[in-house]
């Protein structure tokens, strides 16, 4: 499923983020950039040790922000390590922090010259953010910002069929409101 906002085509696919041939892939990292499970574990395993070496040099990243490293053995050129919020019930600034993590990822990738980028579903695994709420924030943030930063393609890469459906619905809603529809 694809929708275009300005010059940026946003799509949702089911797959593994480590296999994406795009300029930049986004990691769902933690504030210490210390590695872990989920997407983070998969990226460091597939990309090799150079990514962690760069993460150690950078030292950390505040929640809601993102930093860039190379991509080691991965097919992408850059890894953008974004730190999403841990879900604590929704009244601790989680929505703003999640939007900020997407914004900072796009800005950091654009600074590095990226025009194509792949995102996982930040914060909805170990960090427990409800997926449909997170998908709505992800889509509206990307639809608003990706065209102004010169992106050609933004791909959401979902691990499960259920998550794919949720992200597709969110994309459809944002496209409808962008077009002035229902
Ligand atoms: N490709 C795409 N999506 C994936 C992949 C993959 N290879 N592997 C898992 N997912 P999570 P978070 C999905 O937990 O919630 C780590 O330990 C997964 O099914 O990776 O932001 C970090 O070090 C889920 O839908 O990220 C942090 O400590 C989504 O990616 C913490 O977890 C995000 O799940 C970050 O937690």
Tell me the C-alpha distance between 140 and 132, whole Å. 12
Rounded to a whole number of angstroms, the distance between the first and last alpha carbons of the chain is 19
pLDDT, tens digit, for every residue of 129-174?
999 999 999 999 999 999 999 999 999 999 999 999 999 999 999 9
Residues facing 8 on adjacent strands: 5
Residues with CB under 6 A from ligand 1: 16-18, 28-30, 36-40, 42, 84, 120-127, 157, 159, 163
- Which of the following is catalytic: 40, 73, 96, 111? 40
Which candidate, 178, 180, 175, places its Cα nearest to that of 10? 175
157's enclosing H/E stretch is: strand 153-158
**pLDDT value of position 178:** 83
Tell me the C-alpha distance between 61 and 81, whole Å. 8
Based on the residue annotation, tell me whether 40 is a catalytic residue of this protein: yes
**pLDDT value of position 133:** 98
Tell me the C-alpha distance between 4 and 6, whole Å. 6
């Amino acid at each position: 499923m694809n929708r275009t906002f300005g010059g940026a085509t946003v799509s949702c696919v089911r797959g593994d983020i480590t296999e994406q041939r795009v300029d930049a892939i986004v990691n769902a990292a933690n504030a210490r950039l210390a590695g872990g499970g989920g997407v983070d574990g998969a990226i460091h395993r597939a990309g090799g040790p150079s990514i962690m070496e760069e993460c150690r040099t950078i030292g950390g990243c505040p929640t809601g922000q993102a930093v860039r490293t190379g991509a080691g053995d991965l097919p992408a050129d850059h890894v953008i390590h974004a730190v999403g919020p841990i879900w604590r019930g929704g009244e601790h600034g989680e929505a703003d922090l999640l939007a900020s993590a997407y914004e900072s990822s796009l800005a950091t990738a654009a600074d590095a010259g990226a025009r194509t980028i792949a995102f996982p579903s930040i914060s909805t695994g170990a960090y427990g953010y409800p997926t449909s709420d997170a998908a709505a924030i992800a889509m509206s943030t990307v639809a608003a910002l990706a065209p102004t930063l010169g992106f050609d393609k933004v791909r959401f890469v979902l691990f499960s069929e259920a998550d794919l459906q949720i992200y597709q619905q969110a994309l459809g809603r944002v496209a409808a409101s962008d077009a002035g529809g229902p």
